[in-house]
Structure 1
Amino acid sequence: MKLEVLGCSGGIGGRTARTTSFLVDDDILLDCGTGVGDLELDALAAVDHVFLSHAHMDHIAAIPLLVDSVGEMRRFPVTVYGTPETIRILRSHIFNWLIWPDFTAIPNRHRPFLRFQPIRVGETLDLGGRAVTALPAHHTVPAVAFLLDSGSGQLVYSGDTAYHPPLIEAINACAQLRHLIVETAFSDEQHGLALASRHLCPSLLAAMLDDIEVSPQVHISHLKPGVGERIMAQIATYRGRLRPRALVHGEVLQF
């Protein structure tokens, strides 16, 4: 399997500052932030599955326009996977005929452009031999991380999360883990804000990495614009076994 970074920024402002979105192979999206808008129309139409870590705007921003743009081009609906709470938020606050049309009923409920499928922590979906499992995460809204397993290698994407022992336990159970994408949204000067918003800062990331027993390459995502260099400089002082690096817009990870 391969993962292409469409967006890994914690905000916008510049040509490569795209919010969280990853294209897996050609038909799966992990989160659906502003980076999805850089795909050509035929690439958008090839997306069958969208897995959402949670319902915050920077992770869902492109879903309404994606479905609207390609719905008539496809033979079956785009399936959006999320926790039951995430789906409830999308139905209530986005696809409600006020912010955006309800594409689960367009053109009709028998042949919609969009369908929702709940996924719960610990549940695994098999997509043509590719396994996607929801892992526990801890954020200000219900959230999950994701484990992708190709059969020969694994990747974990943390989504937005605070330090969370159940997630660390799940990571340590991944014997073939090659890549860990983990957010670090704030600098250590904003430690209090990181705690309040249930994000990581470098000191909280260090505590998480100290507890990880497997040996993936660690990729840092969700750096806030304007402070990314400061955050990475603080991460660089970490003296543990794992050596984190900043995730880069446009790069491809194989596993």
Structure 2
Amino acid sequence: MPSDDKVALGVEEALALAARALRRVGYDQQQSDIIAASLVDAELCGYPALGLARLVSIIEDPRARHKRTPVTIVHETPVSALIDGGNNVGLYALHRAAQTTIDKARASGIALVGVHNSFFSGRSAHYVEMISRTGLISIHTTASEPYMAALGGTVSELGTNPIAFGFPRDPDPLIVDIGTSAIARSEVVLAARLGKPLPEGAALDDQGRPTRDAAAALIGTMLPFGGHKGFGLGLMVQALGLLGG
């Protein structure tokens, strides 16, 4: 049942809580700290759906019960790498990928890195900010499972497929991070947990009817933002995802 009970946590308390929960489902100390830092960063940036609430989804997801293997580079050149995420949560696999991107771009001037076999990518801005703080321009895209309808459609055909850009700047990078759906899937999940309505024009139920009911949207589909513009961007991000295997 939705509850209005709230608990105030300091940053260090939140980091410790998240890391402790992750260790209990098999992540080691270093992995847990990296994932926890990403979750708390989302909270501090004003994205609670990608913050501590995401811990519940990470732990409950069926993939979390499958065997995990180390994040591994399976193919690389001086300017590129393809990474097997080892069924680890994306917040960890993409942190590793961002570091690989930084290393290769510093050495060669440019880098293209793809990741497959992971889930829950987190806040895309987190990775482009990490890269751009080293003085590099960065673009990050994520092709997700199909949660969004095609333009004029009523069933899920595309992922929510966010795209983010980062440009170095003093004192902080210039960051743009957008999903191609009218609302993020994580926001729908959180709204369903809290019993809160969705904004108008964000989703359809499983009969193809507009809905503000988050639970109905989870078994229905989300709509692209900006009509054909969001659909077009989402389609291209999905196509780019093929490069990651």
Q: Could you tell me the TM-score, scaled by structure 2's length?
A: 0.25
Q: Which has the higher strand share?
A: 1
Higher normalized contact order (CA 8 Å, seq sep 6+, divided by chain length): 1
